[in-house]
Amino acid sequence: MKLDATQMEDWQIAEAAEEQMEAIAEVAAQLGLQDDELIPMGRNVAKIDYPKTWNRIKDLKPGKYVDVTAITPTPLGEGKTTTTLGLVEGLGKIGKKPVGAIRQPSGGPTFNIKGSAAGGGLAQCIPLAPFTLGLTGDIDAITNAHNLCMVALTARMQHEHNYDNERLAQIGIQRLDIDPDHVQIKWVMDFCAQSLRNITIGQGGKMDGYEMESGFAISVSSELMAILAVSSSLKDMRERIGKMVVAYSKSGDEITTADLEVDGAMCAIMLNALNPNLIQTLEGNPVLVHAGPFANIAIGQNSVIADMLGIRLGDYLVTESGFASDIGFEKFWNLKCRYSGLKPDAVVIVATVRALKMHGGGPQVKPGKPLDPAYTEEELDLLEKGCANLKAHINIVKKSGANPVVCINGFYTDTEAEHELVRKVAIEAGARCAVSKHWELGGEGAVELAEAVVEACEDEHHFEFLYDLHLPLKERVYRIATELYGAAGVNWSPEAEEKIKAMQNDPEISSMGVCMVKTHLSLSHNPDFKGAPTGWHLPIRDVLVYKGAGFIVPVAGDIKLMPGTGSRPGFRKIDVDVETGKVTGLF
């Protein structure tokens, strides 16, 4: 069956391709994996036994390392995962041995307005339904391990409230004197459930728990997801889980998972999640899937483990970082690369004519509503104005010392004149540029992009971190805000100011990295500020500590750790064919 991206839905393309897809054992053989290094999870999905594989390949020469990021997107997204997979297919077409590394999709966007993170058109990963609907259960493991920690914390608070010290000693518990007003975590679930952001728990009698304010965050924002993303071994993950700070005592002492004696059980739940998942593109190229999305509220990177394996199993590893270069690439650059020791040879910046027109002052783009004709007809003046956003992202990548390659993710409604305008701007700003039609044509449509990336990887580059870990925490945040976001300065709330001063006085915390939380819809904190805004100040309203993951988390603006479900959610389209058992309507 001929696959036509312009006439078929993504799930229909995936369904047709899956009828001829290679068994996962054959994909593993392409990578040179041995039989005992593969943990089959059905015919078309597997986990890779990380410790066993790593011990065999750790001394192999690494291949080229390519990160995929983007300009500031519209709410529809600009095809970063699609480009990642299309580039993998394109590299395969020109005779390279590529490996893709992407993040596991969250149920939040899957059933909401954004849909799956499987790519699209002829640049997808398959099997689509298993990939989209939980894969091998890594996010479920994070959810359960996190909520077990909350069970341990709230039960401990109840027992300490109900029992005196003598009774606590009888049952082997030392009083932690947990301050209910300084609990640092909430419950998690992997849906967008705004009605659960703020709740009261423990209502009823003394046997029904400790009554307190609480709430839910989305699972992929849990510190456990960050720990999975940055861990380099089981030993490393176990130690990090034990360092998680979940609350403070009334005297201000940290309460960790180790203090609650729940860290071992949490690690046991996450044991299998440490092994990355293996699937394939529509064209049979290997794709590693590990860790999760949401670089606006989390680290938003696939795992260090996946990259360390993939760069030794192929000659090109194409890895994806979440959202645009101001948050996703910045965290890849200053956090993930510190943990892995890897340095990118090239960085692809995905841009679309649609998003650039929006940044030039185009009409509002809303999910579920038809695009204004400005986005489907030639509008060169609007496009040229919006290229200020593209130039800002090129400059962010160049500041790292990496070689930027702008990928114009071509839509069939674009015109040649529009593409040439973007190409001219990109080249003048110091980047290579390629038009890629991978969505429509698969690997054949990505050959120009693949060749540009190969050339960029051979260029000289001097990758350096934005800040030294000895630089004061406030100065690091200032540097990110002013040098990358374009802010004029940083405004700290009184609460955030107090917290950052205390953190700076703690030698362990002050030497950790910085993981910013802000909107992905603008270079600023305000999603309504499009293009490359100037003259604004970044407001920091809170600062969290992820001691297990190893970074502090400044929270900018009014962003929520639990997204909301929109009025036109994707779950309305999803169903199951009761005759075949196949899932339909995924997007």
Specify the pLDDT at position 206: 87
**Does residue 410 have a pLDDT over 70?**
yes
| Residues 303-327, mean pLDDT to the nearest whole number | 96
513-514 and 575-576: which strand pairing?
A: unpaired
The confidence band for 368, taking pLDDT boundaries of 50, 70 and 90, is confident
CB proximity list for 127: less than 8 A, separation 6 or greater: 14, 18, 21, 44, 45, 279
What residues does each domain of the chain span? 138-257, 473-556
pLDDT tens figures, 41-60: 989 999 999 999 999 999 99
What single-letter DSSP state applies at residue 517? B
- The CATH fold assigned to 473-556 is Formyltetrahydrofolate synthetase; domain 3 (3.10.410)
- Reading the block at residue 195, the tokens are 């009605």
Instruction: Reply yes or no on whether the pLDDT at 1 is more than 80.
Output: no
E strand or H helix at 216, and its extent?
strand 216-218
Q: Among the residues of 133-186, which ranges form H helices?
A: 138-162, 165-170
Q: Tell me the pLDDT tens digit for each residue of 539-550.
A: 999 999 999 999
Active-site residue set:
80, 82, 103, 114, 295, 323, 411, 439
Summarize the chain as % helix, strand, coil (round to 5).
40, 20, 40
For residue 583, what is the enclosing H or E element?
strand 583-584
Q: Whole-model pTM above 0.85?
A: yes
288-306 residue pLDDT tens: 999 988 778 789 899 999 9
- Across 8-12, 291-295, 523-527, least confident range: 291-295
> 138-257: which CATH architecture?
2-Layer Sandwich (3.30)
Kindly write down the DSSP assignment for every residue of 237-298, as one continuous string: HHHHHHT-EEEEETTS-EEETTTTT-HHHHHHHTTGGGSPEEEEETT--EEEE-S---TTTS
Sorting pLDDT into bands at 50, 70 and 90, what band is 39?
Answer: very high
CB 68 within 8 A of CB 348: yes
pLDDT in tens, 145-168: 999 999 999 999 999 998 988 888
Q: State the average pLDDT over residues 243-249.
A: 97
pLDDT attached to residue 586:
84
